[in-house]
């Protein structure tokens, strides 16, 4: 006989404004279950998880938690205000009999010391602290909303091992396929307000979902045929007994109502990439390039040839310098040593992980058209911006919405739409899967598979790398980068191991022998505090890309003016002043790039 559930939701209903979000959702969690909750962005997954955690009250339905069972919930945006340190925040989540050492252990494993002040934390550090807080007491039920966000590959694989070893029941929301495949045994699909349950893991979900859609389409076709038959009877067969006529009229009205109220699957993202003319056969050639920050080598003696059509993945722990390597390879940053040669006729489009090129005050429509009217050109064909918005699941009423009001997933779709609308034969993607739902990821992968140009991508998503790339460049530490043939799994097979955390990040954990664990009564000594980005540094990190772009444009203009052979003859003094100004601007550009590099490396060290 099956044991009773430790938590369940039944017939859950919730409406926001005039829009029904949940119209009869169920969730049943038993002892030790491993459940993944899947659905499109905006389908209500996070809301359902909050209802399960008791944080949101449904309009209707039943919620039950077995008496004495503990529930812990990981939000996407944790609030640490009111706590003196990250350790205090995590310890607040412990119960009377829980081991206080576990709080320190988890913080250190996630790259934190415990002494960080919540006000100075980045978004990624805050989520790591929240993850430590929910894991520390080893609750009966863990409800985790996007637990892999802001984690690098070593941390993701560590978290998988930690969750596998725990006896807690799990309910997971995540866009990381490999993470879900490795942990789930049951899949709950939230679609159009209701849930369906598959008693198998996520690896079997997509084929099951497609089968459900096919059966639904067949039922809808049968309904159409029935309606046509009844309408024909209404026109030509109203001579039967009145009672029978009334019944058939009512039946027709019910079928029409059923069809009218049918909610079909949400439209899929339609991703089309505008391709430029083919590039030269050699796209990028780096020879013995190096870059240091102070005494720390970021890239040392690295060489690579990237040919037209290659798909190159770049992987490594946070702080390894992946973004810096990307900038070096694309000519955006000068190496300290060595050379980088770019092929001719390159049309490069980039997608950066911090969405730095998005101005929050710009409207959605203007962001897609660059403020140049109501049309975009995709692959040589003009398309109205409203239609292009619809391709990326935006509604017409969102056209004048400022980008600052969009969700993380919506901003990710805007960046994709912008990057793919411009002609290119080289796509440079820095964490393109951030905040995208699984269906959008599918379509992005299909698009990249059909793309005739070259792709260079930084990603922590193992499944995405396995599906897309033809080779992987891996950080081996101390500025050493090595290229491996194949995807991420092929790289692991060749190396015998996946991505390891940077040695400095794991020193604290390695220095604590198990025998030295403090007792429950003794407070563990927190590790040494690490550096944090100040408000000034954060502001500089956000504004320096714009400063650098402005300086580059000014330098290009000055060079154009100085290239005029008649300029010196007309006005020697003005020519000299312009030359001096060029030297000054070049110095400012060099200083700005060095400062950006310093701050970027510091940000990566802080694991965000």
Q: Name residue 195's beta-bridge partners.
A: 190
Of 241-245, 354-358, 455-459, 512-516, the range with the lowest mean pLDDT is: 512-516
Most confident of 152-166, 341-355, 514-528, 536-550: 152-166
Question: DSSP state, 275?
Answer: B
- Which pLDDT band, with edges at 50, 70 and 90, does 53 fall under? very high
Question: Options 1.20.210.10, 3.50.50.60, 3.40.50.300, 2.60.40.10; which CATH number does 282-505 get?
Answer: 3.40.50.300
On the question of pLDDT at 263 being above 80, the answer is no
Identify whether the C-beta of residue 256 lies closer than 8 Å to the C-beta of residue 405.
no
For residues 313-320, average pLDDT = 87
Q: Find the largest Cα–Cα distance for the chain.
A: 106
Encode pLDDT of 139-160 as tens digits.
999 999 999 887 888 888 899 9
Which tokens hold the place of 408?
């993380």
How many other β-carbons are positioned within 10 Å of the β-carbon of residue 268? 13
- pLDDT at 417 (0 to 100): 80
Most confident of 42-46, 308-312, 441-445: 308-312
- pLDDT at 598 (0 to 100): 73
- pLDDT at 357 (0 to 100): 59
Exposure b/e, 23-47, CB count within 10 A at least 16 = b = bebbbbbebebbbbbbbbbebbbbb
Residue 285, classified by CB atoms within 10 Å of its CB into exposed (0-12), middle (13-18) or buried (19+), is middle
On the question of pLDDT at 28 being above 90, the answer is yes
For residues 233-259, average pLDDT = 53
Does an H or E element contain 314, and which?
strand 311-315
For residues 70-94, average pLDDT = 92
Residue 22, classified by CB atoms within 10 Å of its CB into exposed (0-12), middle (13-18) or buried (19+), is buried
Encode pLDDT of 418-476 as tens digits.
877 777 889 998 888 876 777 778 878 888 888 888 999 999 899 999 999 999 999 99
- Terminal alpha carbon distance of the chain: 47
Encode pLDDT of 574-596 as tens digits.
888 888 888 888 888 877 877 77
Which tokens hold the place of 421?
């609308």
Encode pLDDT of 182-233 as tens digits.
999 999 999 888 999 999 999 999 889 888 878 877 776 765 666 566 555 5
- pLDDT above 70 coverage of the chain, percent: 80
Question: What is the average pLDDT score of the chain?
Answer: 80
Identify whether the C-beta of residue 177 lies closer than 8 Å to the C-beta of residue 438.
yes
Most confident of 69-78, 275-284, 422-431: 69-78
- pLDDT at 511 (0 to 100): 42
Which architecture characterizes domain 1-70+139-200 according to CATH? 3-Layer(aba) Sandwich (3.40)
For residues 229-241, average pLDDT = 53
- pLDDT at 516 (0 to 100): 36
Encode pLDDT of 383-434 as tens digits.
888 888 887 778 788 888 888 777 666 777 787 788 777 778 899 988 888 7
- pLDDT at 409 (0 to 100): 66
Most confident of 35-39, 74-78, 232-236, 278-282: 35-39
Q: Which one is predicted more confidently, 402 or 535?
A: 402
Does an H or E element contain 113, and which?
none
Fold (topology level) of 535-605: Helix Hairpins (1.10.287)
Q: Is the pTM of this model over 0.75?
A: no
The helix, strand and coil proportions of the chain, stated in percent and rounded to the nearest 5, come to: 45, 20, 35
Number of H-type helices and E-type strands within the chain: 19, 20
Does an H or E element contain 464, and which?
helix 462-468
On the question of pLDDT at 608 being above 50, the answer is no
- Which pLDDT band, with edges at 50, 70 and 90, does 535 fall under? low
For residues 32-60, average pLDDT = 91
- Give the 3-state secondary structure of residue 337: strand
């Amino acid at each position: 006989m099956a044991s009773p559930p430790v938590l369940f939701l039944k017939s859950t209903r919730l409406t926001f404004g005039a829009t029904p979000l949940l119209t009869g959702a169920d969730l049943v969690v038993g002892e030790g279950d491993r459940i993944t909750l899947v659905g499109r962005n905006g389908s209500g997954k996070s809301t359902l998880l909050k209802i399960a955690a008791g944080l949101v009250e449904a309009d209707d339905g039943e919620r039950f938690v077995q008496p004495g069972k503990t529930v812990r919930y990981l939000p996407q945006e944790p609030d640490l205000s009111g706590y003196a340190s990250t350790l205090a925040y995590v310890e607040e989540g412990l119960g009377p009999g829980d081991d206080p050492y576990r709080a320190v252990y988890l913080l250190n494993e996630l790259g934190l010391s415990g002494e960080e002040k919540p006000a100075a934390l980045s978004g990624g550090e805050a989520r790591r602290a929240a993850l430590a807080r929910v894991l520390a007491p080893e609750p009966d039920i863990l409800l985790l909303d996007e637990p892999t966000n802001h984690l690098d590959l070593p941390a993701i694989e560590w978290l998988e091992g930690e969750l596998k070893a725990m006896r807690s029941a799990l309910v997971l929301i995540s866009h990381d396929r490999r993470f879900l495949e490795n942990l789930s045994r049951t899949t709950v699909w939230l679609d159009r307000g209701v849930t369906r349950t598959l008693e198998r893991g996520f690896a079997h979900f997509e084929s099951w979902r497609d089968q459900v859609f096919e059966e639904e389409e067949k039922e809808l076709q049968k309904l159409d045929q029935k309606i046509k038959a009844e309408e024909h009877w209404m026109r030509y067969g109203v001579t039967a007994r009145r009672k029978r006529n009334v019944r058939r009229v009512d039946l027709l009205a019910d079928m029409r109502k059923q069809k009218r109220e049918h909610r079909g699957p949400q439209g899929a993202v339609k991703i089309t990439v505008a391709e430029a003319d083919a590039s030269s056969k050699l796209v990028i050639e780096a020879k013995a390039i190096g870059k240091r920050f102070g005494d720390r080598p970021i890239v040392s003696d690295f060489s690579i040839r990237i040919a037209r059509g290659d798909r190159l993945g770049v992987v490594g722990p946070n702080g390894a310098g992946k973004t810096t390597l990307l900038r070096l390879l694309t000519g955006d940053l000068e190496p300290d040593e060595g050379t980088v040669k770019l092929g001719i006729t390159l049309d490069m489009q980039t997608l950066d992980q911090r969405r730095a090129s998005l101005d929050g005050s710009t409207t959605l429509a203007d962001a897609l058209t660059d403020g140049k009217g109501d049309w975009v050109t995709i692959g040589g064909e003009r398309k109205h911006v409203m239609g292009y918005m619809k391709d990326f699941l935006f509604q017409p009423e969102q056209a004048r919405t400022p980008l600052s009001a969009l969700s993380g997933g919506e901003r990710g779709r805007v960046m994709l739409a912008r990057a793919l609308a411009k002609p290119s034969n080289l796509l440079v993607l820095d964490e393109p899967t951030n905040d995208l739902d699984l269906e959008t990821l599918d379509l992005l992968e299909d698009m990249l598979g059909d793309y005739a140009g070259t792709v260079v991508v930084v990603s922590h998503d193992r499944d995405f790398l396995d599906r897309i790339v033809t080779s992987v460049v891996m950080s081996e530490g101390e500025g050493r980068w090595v290229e491996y043939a194949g995807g991420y799994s092929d790289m692991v097979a060749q190396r015998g191991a996946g991505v390891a955390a940077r040695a400095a990040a794991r020193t604290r954990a390695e220095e604590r022998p198990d025998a030295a664990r403090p007792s429950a009564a003794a407070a563990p000594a927190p590790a040494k505090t690490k550096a944090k980005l100040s408000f000034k540094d954060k502001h500089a990190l956000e504004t320096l890309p714009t400063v650098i772009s402005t300086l580059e444009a000014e330098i290009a203009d000055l060079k154009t003016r100085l290239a005029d052979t008649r300029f010196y003859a007309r006005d020697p003094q003005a020519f000299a002043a312009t030359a001096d100004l060029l030297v000054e601007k070049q110095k400012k550009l060099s200083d700005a790039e060095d400062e950006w590099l310093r701050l970027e490396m510091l940000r990566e060290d802080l694991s965000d």
